[in-house]
Amino acid sequence: YMVPTVYMPLAAMPMTPNGKIDRKALPEPEVSAETENVPPETERERQFYEIAAELLGTKAFGVTDNLVSLGLSSIGAMGLAARLHCTWNLHIPATRILRSPTIRAMIALAEQGEGCTQPPFVHYAKREFYPLMENQRDIYRAWEQNSRATQYNIPKVIPFARVEGEALAGALQDALNAHEYLKTRFIYVEGDVMQKPGDGDSPAVSLRELDREPDRDFFQSRVLPFDLLGGRLYRLEIYTFDHRSWLFADIHHMVYDGISANVFLAEVRRALTGESLRGESFSALDFSLYERELQSREEYAHGNDYFLGLAEGAVPAVLPDSPSPDGKRVGTFALSIPAGEVNRFYKDLGVTPGSFFQAVFGETLRRVTGEEKILYVTTSGGRSAFPGLMDSVGMFAKTLPVVSKNPGEMTVREYVREVHRQLSETYARECCPCTELLKSRGIIPETMFIYQGGISEQEPSSITLEPNATRQPFYVDFLAQGQVYVFHVTYDGRRYSRSAVETFAGMVKHIALGFVREKYVKDVK
């Protein structure tokens, strides 16, 4: 892993007036497309290579190539970590994979035993009640303030061609029994909200035949608030018409996240083919106990120190209120950015697309607010503590801070790499919930940016539904869709106007393309 990826001959090293090497004047490495791929040479290299090739969908790489440059995202790294664990009981954290993203580097980690100890996750004795995870506690508080809001609903409508309603209902019941955490309920126990397992409950799936084809408005009307105290937190409804079926799945974020949606729907499709579902190795209930234990460990305190240091001197980023806001609770706006130049840039740089767009978004927001150092929040998958969690359903996603500061004389490549490094350090500490820690310092973020590549995969024929409130006043989803990236904003229309949001989105697009074309950040106007 210490072998350089690129060599460049120079006639002489650029020097400063003081006689030292002028590192800023060094040319950017140019990766030749003709570089020969180094094939696997050992059985272990071949085994690692086959797993990576399957995840990346290509074999056009070698064992010394940077897998991030080939499209390995943070979620992909978690999937790779899960496959390595399931295949060889080998635990290499996703964050270590992203820091050493070549086949040979990962094998070196495995042989040295560095970062590859057995995971600290254990099975716990079954309990009647379980504590809330910290991320769930934040959602519950938001519900207490407005129990009629649906901003934490996760609705999805998926048409199923040539699938009978009864068969789909049976597959849903099988998936619910394999992932019984979805049956969990929340109740008060001795003055605190606790989780109560619902593994004794029968799966609730409704089936209804319609006299006409349902449209988006029909399903939008089905997005209703959930009762978080004692109520069931999922709605699985099947509607049929003219030998076609539609699945309406609305599940609350308290028990579900983006990766859970991928896991659950994949299980439904497996059940439709007659495949037996094996269930979960580790449940979110067990993880709630693990998280509680973790709070007494040294790495938890170190994580808190890291977040406080990261946030020191940063101002929570707040998009300026519009003079004439829309006046409605929720507004939405979407804009597309061509993928071609962006893809070539981040792959050549060896960073993830998420890191590239976090850098773009942070710099745009910093310029709009006029601050030198700003803070907003993003999310992570939250499953890096144990690879087996990649097959579990639950609310594991973590809210994490991102800090953007004035890049000064930095080149675009230096700046994007610095953001990538910051995100890697932050994701490595995702086990430490930081929202309450930031609030204790008076830091209450109002802006959230989420890069959804590899997290929430959009079904080609699915129907998009909207909440009746926003999670943050300014909430951004960045989606990879074919040959474009889609910048999708959900905003508080009582504070912002559509024209202001459209202008901001246009700035994001302009700066993204400017990052690709200019050398220095300051030259992106």
At 492 the pLDDT is 96
**80/88 Cα distance (integer angstroms):** 12
At 455 the pLDDT is 46
Residue 497 and residue 482 in contact, taking contact as beta carbons nearer than 8 Å: no
**360/357 Cα distance (integer angstroms):** 5
At 225 the pLDDT is 96
Extract the runs of DSSP E, i.e. beta strands, from 62-134. Answer: 130-131
Long-range contacts of 143-147 (CB under 8 A, 24+ apart): 143/228, 146/469, 147/225, 147/227, 147/228
**418/80 Cα distance (integer angstroms):** 24
Q: List, run by run, the mean pLDDT of 10-residue segments along the chain (525 residues).
A: 68 83 74 68 90 86 87 80 77 80 87 58 85 93 94 94 93 97 96 93 96 95 95 97 94 95 94 92 91 85 90 93 95 94 90 93 97 95 81 94 96 96 90 81 91 58 81 92 91 97 97 96 95
Q: Environment class of residue 429 by beta-carbon count within 10 Å: exposed (0-12), middle (13-18) or buried (19+)?
A: buried
Pairing of strands 315-316, 330-338: unpaired
At 501 the pLDDT is 97
**342/525 Cα distance (integer angstroms):** 18
At 213 the pLDDT is 95
pTM, two decimals, is 0.84
At 28 the pLDDT is 67
Among 379, 182, 152, CA closest to 264: 182
